[in-house]
Chains A and B, each alone.
Chain A
Amino acid sequence: MTQESRSPDKPAAGQRLTFDYELDAPPEKVWRALTVPAFVDRWLTPDQPERDAKTIATEVIEAEPPHRLSWNWREAGEPEGVVTFTLTPNETGGTSLRLVHVRRLPAMQPAANSNAVTMMLAA
């Protein structure tokens, strides 16, 4: 694992979305909600009760309980990506949750960095 791919601020390549949330629950509890399949189904795919009917498929590629979780992200009809959750205890006993979703680019040199593109699109 390289330093670059570990840093949420420096994706190797691709479009990236970052979200920050303050959650009332402690990291250990949030971690369970993110990792126990029955819990994940309830918040991630609540409108898809049948497991077979899922259009979203996640695969854990990195897990460092209860701090950091990365999923390979596949959704029918959408480009593949990597979703990373970073959990940090906050001052009120809850959790600061950072969610970073990086779109994986098709066949591209790893040196590419399209941050500029994201910024331009956001402008």
Chain B
Amino acid sequence: MNETDVFRALADPTRRAVLERLATGSRNATELREGFAISQPAMSQHLAVLRGAGLIKEARTGRSINYAVDAAGLAPLHDWLTRYSAFWPSRIEKLQDLLREMDQ
């Protein structure tokens, strides 16, 4: 999935809020709109952007569509956090070693 699409999708506060709501469990479009002061077409558009970025997936059950987070779409964000969450502590450990070896 295109990383730029992911960031574009997440640049919008409403879409971030939608994604956070879905992170707590799947919802249909009506449930998703609760608490948001936006029209149904506007919500549909946000959902389309999120889906286009690979951040959510939809599943049709009977006549309603359920939306859920697509964990794979968040992988580019996780990769960065995972890498540098491990990288910096190991480097700061080496910095501390160096400080002990340096002259005042």
Contacts and interface: CB of A to CB of B under 8 A. Distances in A.
Interface of A: 13, 15, 17, 19, 21, 23-25, 29-30, 32-34, 39, 42-44, 46, 78-79, 97, 99, 101, 103, 105-109, 112, 114, 116-118, 120-121, 123
Contact of B23 (A13, A107, A120): A120
B98 A43 contact: yes
Contacts of A106: 3-4, 7
A111 to B, nearest CB: 8
B102 interface: yes
B77 to A, nearest CB: 6
Nearest to A36: B102
Interface of B: 3-4, 7-8, 10-11, 13, 16-17, 19-20, 23, 74, 77-78, 80-81, 83-85, 88-89, 91-92, 94-100, 102, 104
A44 B11 CA distance: 32
B98 A108 contact: no
A117 B88 contact: no
Given A15-B77, A121-B77, A33 B92 contact: no
Nearest to B83: A78
Interface of A is mostly: mixed
A116 B4 CA distance: 18
Contacts, number: 88
Given A19-B92, A121-B77, A123-B23, 14 more contacts: A17-B85, A17-B88, A23-B95, A23-B99, A25-B99, A29-B102, A30-B95, A97-B92, A105-B7, A108-B8, A112-B11, A117-B19, A118-B81, A120-B19
A17 B84 contact: yes
A78 B80 CA distance: 8
B99 A24 contact: yes
